[in-house]
Structure 1
Amino acid sequence: MRRMGYVAAVAVSWIGGAALAEFSQPQLAALTVLTPLAQEQLDRKNAQALAECMVLAAEAEEVSRIAAFAGMAPSPVIIDLANEIIQRPAVLSCLTEKLS
């Protein structure tokens, strides 16, 4: 597994420096896992917004579980968790706000 500092740096390069104030290190690590999953379904800009909204809608324990896969391929359990999170109303409202 890669070092957390490297993962955070990659995530920040994807989402910009303002994210440092918005996301914790575990959230940044989770973002590096969720973004490629979202990019399989959407274009880069919309996928990034979706991944950010998923991280914000996830509970702390879920963020930690997802973040543990930073630098690795996500397991089917993580993919199932991502599919569960994406269906939450908070994700839809966040995504609507980010893309409007």
Structure 2
Amino acid sequence: MMTRPLKPYIAVLLFESSGRPQLFSEDFVLLRAGSEEEARTRAEERGRAGETAFQNEAGETIKWTLRHVVDVAEVLDDDLSQDTDLYSRHFRDISAYEAFEPLLSGWEL
């Protein structure tokens, strides 16, 4: 049985915190897999393995859980030995993007 060569994929994982105010984390993960289906499975496994819980300064238990695997895509250029494009996505509403992206809006986390 021939094995497929491993190709690099980017997975976008959305995590949710149980703390208040509510906080989300969007993680971009580089994976190597033989197919997009395998990469999606690995992304789900990686996301579940990244779930955690801890006590904050106020003594509250904060849980980070995987909410969704948003996207899995083969990297745009698989030559990772030099500067390269990894992932691109498009959107239609800049106001919505600015509202959700704290680095653009000036909000603190």
> Which structure has the larger Rg over C-alpha atoms?
2
Provide the TM-score with structure 2 as the length reference: 0.26
* Structure with a larger share of its residues in strand: 2
Higher share of residues assigned helix: 1
* Superposition TM-score, scaled by structure 1 size: 0.28
